[in-house]
Structure 1
Amino acid sequence: MTADLTITLFGIKFKNPVWTASGTFGYGLEAREIYDLSRLGAVVTKGISLRPRLGNETPRIVETPCGMLNSIGLQNPGVEKFLKELYPEIEKIDTHFIVNVFGETEEEYVEVCKALESADKVVAYELNVSCPNVKKGGIAFGHDPQVLGNLVENIKKNIKKPLLVKLSPNVTDVTEFAKVCIDSGADGLVLINTLLGMRINIHKERPELSTKTGGLSGPAIFPIAVRMVWQTFEKFGHRIPIIGVGGITTHEDALEHVYAGASAVQIGTANFYDPLAPLRVIEGIENFMKEKGIREFRELIGRAHRLDVKT
C-alpha cells in the first residue's frame, strides 16, 4: 500500500507535512550539503526585517535540560539583501519557502511583506508577533489582542499570498489570540513560539544570557505545544489550518501534534543536534501510515478528537 503524504493548505499543495522551523534552519541554503532539500514539505526561513539587524550581544545561546534558551535578537541581513543575495539561490531548490517576517512597527511588517510579493518562490508569510511594538511601549504584538488584530488586518489588505501567524505561548489563553487572528483574516496559525525562560551561572553570579532571558525551545516545551494545538483545534479546527511546532524530534512527536489537530509540523531545535531529523520524521510518518493501513495523511489530522479515549 502506498501512503499519500501530500497536504493542501491555504490553496497550496505541499509534498509532505514536514517543514523546518524558523530560526533553526537558516535560509535553507546552509543544509544543501547535507541532504536534498526537495524532500522537505517546506522551509520556513530565519526571520526577515525591513532593515539589517546585528542581533544581541553574546552569550546568546545556552543549553537547558531537554532544550535550549536563545536570545539571538533576530539577526538578519534585511529584506533588500535577502532578495538580492539569498533569493536567487533559494529559487533553485525544489520545495516551498515560507518567509518569517517581523518588524518593530506595523508599517515595517507591511513593507517587508510587500517587498516579498513578487518573489514567486515565497509562497506564504509567517508572522513573528513576539517582537516588541516600539509604538506601544515595547509590548509584544502578540500579547495585545487589539494590536495583533490590527496588524493582521493591515497586512492582509496589502498582500495576495497566504498569511500565517506564529502565536506566542506566553499568554493566559492562546485560543483568545487565535480567534483574533482568524477574525482578522489570517490563513493559518503556527503553534507555538518559544516560552520565556532564564538560567543563572552561580559561579559567575550572573545570568547566562546577555539579555538575561531568552526563548526556551526543544523537547522541554513539547507537552505545552501539543496542549495548545489541541485547545485551538478543539475551538477553531474547522475554520483554519494549524501548524504544530515545539519539541518535535521523532515521527511519534510529530504525530502527537497531528492527532491533536495540526495539519503540518515544523522541526526546530532538533536540527541543531540531528540535521537529518526532518527526513527521519517524514519516513517515520510514511511507515506509520503503511502499518496502520492509512492511505492519506489528512485522515490523521485531529484524529484524537474523533476517537474514544480508552484508559
Structure 2
Amino acid sequence: MNTNIRIGSIDLKNPVISASGTYGYAREYGEALDINALGAIVVKGISIEPSKGNPEPRIAETPCGMLNSIGLENVGIKAFISKKLPYLKSLETPVITNIYGKTADEYAELAGIIDKLDGISGIEVNISCPNVSKGGVAFGTVPELTHEVISAVRKQTSKTLIAKLSPNVTDITIIARAAEAAGADALSLINTITGMAIDIRTRKPMLANITGGLSGPAIKPVAVRMVWQTANSVSIPVIGLGGITCAEDAIEFIIAGATAVQIGTANFPDPKTPLRIIEGIVKYMKKNKITSLHELRGTVKI
C-alpha cells in the first residue's frame, strides 16, 4: 500500500504526524517507541525568549478530553538550537518546528533563524497567539492579521510553511484563504477550542488561568467539519487534527479532505497511538483495495 504523501517540499512515508505541544522535543518519546516510524514530528512551540508558561494548575481532565493552559512554555530559540536540535538532527523522519510570537516581527525573526538550520524540514506557525501591537487580538481570528504574519514568515524562509489555524472563529474558510494567499504551503487545523471547567466543591475554576484549550475526542466532530470546509476552499494540503485516537478517526479526516493527520492528546495515555494508527490505515487500505491515499482523500459522499 502506498502511504506516501507530500506536504510542501516534505516527503512523508505516511500521513501520521505528532502534534505540537504534545510531543515535547521528540526525545521524550524516544524510549517508548520508534519515532522514526512517524510520517513527521512537530516539536513543542518555540519563541524568541524562554517562557515559563502559566501558573499551576494548568491541566484539567474533562469528559472525553482535557483542558490545558500550559501557556506555551518553552526553552527559547537559543536553547532549542544548542540543546534540542542535535537530537532532532539524528532522526530520520522529517522534523517541523512550531513557532509563535507576540508580533509579526517576532514570527519573522524566528523564521529567519530556523531557515538557516539543518535538520528542520518545515515551520508550523501558531497563529492563535494574541498580537500585542493590535490590542491582544489573536492573529488567527482576523484574516488581515493572518495574512500579515504568514506573509512576514514567508519572506524569511524557503522551508515548507504550515499555518496552524484556530477554531475560535466564525468562518474558518476566510482565515484559510488568507493564509494560502500569504504563501502558506499547507494548513493544519484545528487548534484547541477555548473552554472552562469549575470545581463545584470550591466553586473555583479548575485552571489557574480560568480558561484553557479543550482537546481530545470531544472536539473531533468540530475538527472534521472544519477540515472538510477548508479542504473544499483552498488548493493547498490540509492537515487534520483534533481528537484522533484510532485509525478510524484518522481515516475519517482523510475522507473529509485531509492530506495528513496529527496526533495530540492521545499520545499522553498511550505513546504508541501513532503507530497503531499507521498500522490501522494500512489494514483499511488493504481491506478496501485502496492502493494510494490519493484514492481516499476527499471522497466523502455529500
Q: Which residue of 1 aligns with 2:291?
A: 295
Q: Deviations over 1:64-99 (max 9, x none)?
A: 000000000000000111001110011111100110
Letter in 2 for 1:243: I
Q: Which residue of 2 aligns with 1:247?
A: 243
1:90 aligns with 2:111: no
Query: Which residues of structure 1 form unaligned runs of 5+?
Result: none
Partners of 1:42 and 1:220 in 2: CA distance: 25
Partners of 1:127 and 1:173 in 2: CA distance: 19
Structure 1 residues 158-237: aligned runs within 5 Å: 158-236=156-234
Q: Which residue of 2 aligns with 1:131?
A: 129
Letter in 1 for 2:136: G
Q: Is the 8 A contact 2:19 2:263 kept in 1?
A: yes
Deviation at 1:278, TM superposition (A): 0.2
Q: Deviations over 1:171-209 (max 9, x none)?
A: 000001001111111110001000000001111121110
Partners of 1:23 and 1:10 in 2: CA distance: 22
Structure 1 residues 243-282: aligned runs within 5 Å: 243-282=239-278
Q: Which residue of 2 aligns with 1:48?
A: 46
Q: Which residue of 1 aligns with 2:140?
A: 142
Partners of 2:134 and 2:211 in 1: CA distance: 21
Partners of 1:198 and 1:9 in 2: CA distance: 34
**Two-structure CA RMSD over aligned residues (Å):** 0.9
Letter in 2 for 1:94: E
Letter in 1 for 2:37: R
Deviation at 1:8, TM superposition (A): 1.6
Deviation at 1:11, TM superposition (A): 2.3
Partners of 1:20 and 1:81 in 2: CA distance: 22
SS at match of 1:197: strand
Deviation at 1:162, TM superposition (A): 1.4
Deviation at 1:120, TM superposition (A): 2.2
Alignment TM-score, normalising by the size of structure 1: 0.96
Deviation at 1:31, TM superposition (A): 0.6
Deviation at 1:158, TM superposition (A): 1.3
SS at match of 1:30: helix
Structure 1 residues 22-37: aligned runs within 5 Å: 22-37=20-35
Alignment TM-score, normalising by the size of structure 2: 0.98
SS at match of 2:29: coil
Q: Quick check: 220-229 or 5-14, which moved more?
A: 5-14
Deviation at 1:59, TM superposition (A): 0.2
Letter in 2 for 1:277: T
Q: Deviations over 1:147-188 (max 9, x none)?
A: 111111111111111111110000000001001111111110
Partners of 2:10 and 2:80 in 1: CA distance: 23
Partners of 2:84 and 2:213 in 1: CA distance: 26
Q: Is the 8 A contact 2:69 2:212 kept in 1?
A: yes
Letter in 2 for 1:211: N
Find 2:78's aligned residue among 77, 80, 92: 80
Query: Which residues of structure 2 form unaligned runs of 5+?
Result: none
Partners of 1:67 and 1:256 in 2: CA distance: 19
SS at match of 1:168: coil
SS at match of 2:71: coil
Find 1:286's aligned residue among 275, 278, 282: 282
Partners of 1:77 and 1:258 in 2: CA distance: 34
Deviation at 1:143, TM superposition (A): 1.2
Letter in 1 for 2:256: A
Partners of 2:4 and 2:293 in 1: CA distance: 7
Deviation at 1:235, TM superposition (A): 2.1
Q: Deviations over 1:259-301 (max 9, x none)?
A: 0000000000000111110000000000110111111122211
Letter in 2 for 1:44: V
Letter in 2 for 1:99: T
Which portions of structure 1, spanning 4 or more consecutive aligned residues, are displaced by more than 2 angstroms? none
1:154 aligns with 2:174: no
